[in-house]
């Protein structure tokens, strides 16, 4: 009998946390519309507001500043717009500046025309080039509107942590707005929108043990807000119309609560497992290249190149051995292409890279099995320079 499949693709999506599963199952009996004033509606509304408080605690934010969306992509498209309001007064955003390693949901520029977007280079270490950012903002045409800068806190492929506090100081010095994609950071780093100096922060439910189909745009205040993306009945204080996905939102809140409660224990355990994994990988293939290993990464991510093994070939090989991992971001309908992150870091994307990402349910036995599979695949690869 074949061993059970091994899931090592937590950055793509996380299995439901038991706390979130229980919350969703209980919520299935709450059938009222949360915007109705009768008792059934008020019961669901109370559950949604509890989830809002739970997510706010995770983000270090005020619950009044949490806007539920269908996910991080919608949140990005909502906030990345040249049309804002300061209270009732229209406020123009003249240019969007985003780092070269951003997720496609940000790289596409949201509602900004292409000519109003500018890429910020990163260093060979994969972190934002702060000098380049300062130069770009110093040259920004202030007559066109304020500059907006979008930088992810943790890269979804490499796990590299960006120097958000330093980015925020530069953005603030030039009177700009800062949007932080914290999707891969939630549950893996302590979040605090105010301490980060961010004006807006994006998080996603299914990356931290909650259901798919919901996320949040978190704001530092309530005065400066983007033009709504979805118009209608005025839910979410008029910022995002449409009846809330109560089941997913309630599960999201429960997953956020678990991430806060288990933070220290979870990250200590996952960090030890990641170190065990990388030690085993280097032992089996000393020429393996692990990106970001010399810098600051989140505890759960290993992004690596095995010379002589193409990313697509490697992903299939691991899958045939019963191991689920990925070749970078899981956002392109299953396609395996060149990594824009490796390109931005000055690496040869044709080498290909694979990502192993761990989570709260990963065990030592699973890591040892992953090392064994890695060693098997490494042993049968083509010599570097030959087609794999």
Query: Which residues are part of the catalytic machinery?
Result: 331
Sort residue 238 into left (φ over 0), alpha (ψ -120 to 50) or beta: left
Exposure string over 193-227, b if 16+ CB within 10 A, otherwise e: beebbbbbbbbbbbbbbbbbbbbbbbbbeeebbbe
User: What is the C-alpha separation between 55 and 75, in angstroms, rounded?
Assistant: 15
Give the closest residue to 198 by CA, choosing from 162, 227, 156: 162
Token pair for 364: 């030592």
User: What is the C-alpha separation between 2 and 14, in angstroms, rounded?
Assistant: 23
Angle at 199 between CA 173 and CA 85, to 5 degrees: 100
Angle at 168 between CA 166 and CA 174, to 5 degrees: 115
Give the closest residue to 81 by CA, choosing from 230, 241, 237: 230
Do the bridges between strand 224-226 and strand 301-305 make them parallel or antiparallel, or are there none, so unpaired?
A: unpaired
All residues at 6 or more sequence positions from 143 whose CB lies less than 8 Å from its CB, including other chains: 94
């Amino acid at each position: 009998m074949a061993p059970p499949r091994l899931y090592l693709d937590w950055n793509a999506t996380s299995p439901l946390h038991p706390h979130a599963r229980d919350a969703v199952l209980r919520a299935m009996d709450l059938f009222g519309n949360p915007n109705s004033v009768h008792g059934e509606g008020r019961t669901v509304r109370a559950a949604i507001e509890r989830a809002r408080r739970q997510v706010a605690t995770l983000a270090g934010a005020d619950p009044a500043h949490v806007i539920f969306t269908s996910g991080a992509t919608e949140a990005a498209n909502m906030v990345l717009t040249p049309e804002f309001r300061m209270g009732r007064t229209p406020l123009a955003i003249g240019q969007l500046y985003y780092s070269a390693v951003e997720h496609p949901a940000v790289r596409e520029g949201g509602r900004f025309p292409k000519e109003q977007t500018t890429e910020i280079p990163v260093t060979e270490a994969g972190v934002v080039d702060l000098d380049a950012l300062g130069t770009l903002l110093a040259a920004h045409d202030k007559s066109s509107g304020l500059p907006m800068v979008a930088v992810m806190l943790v890269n979804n492929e490499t796990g590299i942590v960006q120097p958000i506090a330093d980015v925020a100081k530069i953005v603030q010095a030039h009177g700009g707005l800062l949007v932080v994609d914290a999707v891969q950071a939630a549950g893996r780093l302590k979040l605090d929108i105010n301490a980060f100096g961010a004006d807006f922060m994006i998080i996603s439910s299914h990356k931290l043990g909650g259901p798919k189909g919901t996320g949040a745009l978190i704001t530092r205040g309530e005065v400066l807000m983007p033009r709504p993306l979805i118009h209608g009945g005025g839910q979410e204080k008029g910022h995002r119309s449409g009846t809330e996905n109560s089941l997913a939102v309630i599960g999201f809140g429960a997953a956020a609560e678990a991430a806060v409660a288990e933070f220290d224990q979870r990250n200590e355990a996952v960090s030890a497992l990641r170190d065990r994994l990388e030690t085993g990988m280097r032992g089996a293939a000393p020429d393996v290249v692990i990106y970001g290993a010399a810098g600051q990464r989140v505890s759960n991510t290993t992004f690596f190149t095995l010379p002589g093994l193409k990313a697509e070939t490697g992903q299939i090989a691991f899958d045939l051995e019963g191991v689920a991992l990925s070749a970078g971001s899981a956002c392109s309908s299953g396609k395996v292409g060149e990594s824009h992150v490796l390109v931005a870091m000055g690496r040869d994307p044709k080498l290909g890279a694979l990502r192993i990402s761990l989570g709260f349910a990963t065990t030592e036995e699973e890591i040892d099995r992953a090392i064994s599979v890695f060693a098997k695949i490494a042993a049968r690869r083509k010599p570097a320079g030959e087609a794999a």
